[in-house]
Amino acid sequence: MAEEAPSKAGQVAEIQNQINQALKELNQIRNRQQPITTPAELQAAERAIIKATDKIASLMTGLKIQQAVDSDDLKEKADQLVRSMPGKLKNQGRRLVSIQTSRGKAVKVAAPYFSRKKKRKKKK
């Protein structure tokens, strides 16, 4: 289910903070002196590196998606789509939605949310 979303700048800043944290984690892996003497230790090190880089990849993809959603060009196209709908739509504001990228975990992006206007019952 969609959640209340922060402002455009707020969500971009949130994703950038998450990227910075993920880069710190990757740096810790890079700087950690880790003796690798067995195949299992090598496999464990490789898994940690892949997990960290996949996290960065998903966050970077999420950032690009958020920037696209916030662009004036996409907003204009969304407005055209809403106007072309047969029924009136109500702008419910921005909501956080989860997007599963092809690498890493799902990322949250703030996107416009529209719903159909409810028909009022006529009083007799």
77 by Cβ neighbours in 10 Å (0-12 / 13-18 / 19+) ranks as exposed
SS3 state of residue 83: helix
Can you say whether the dihedral through the CA atoms of 79, 82, 83, 89 is positive or negative? negative
In the chain, where are the structural domains located? 3-116
pLDDT in tens, 73-124: 998 998 888 889 888 888 888 999 999 999 888 999 999 988 887 766 666 6
Q: So what's the pLDDT on residue 100? A: 95
Residue 6 has pLDDT above 70, yes or no: no
Q: So what's the pLDDT on residue 5? A: 60
Phi-psi region of 104 (alpha: psi -120 to 50; beta: other; left: phi over 0): left
Cβ atoms of 58 and 104 within 8 Å: the answer is: yes
Average pLDDT, the chain: 89
Cα separation, 49 vs 85, whole angstroms: 47
Regarding pTM above 0.75, the answer is yes
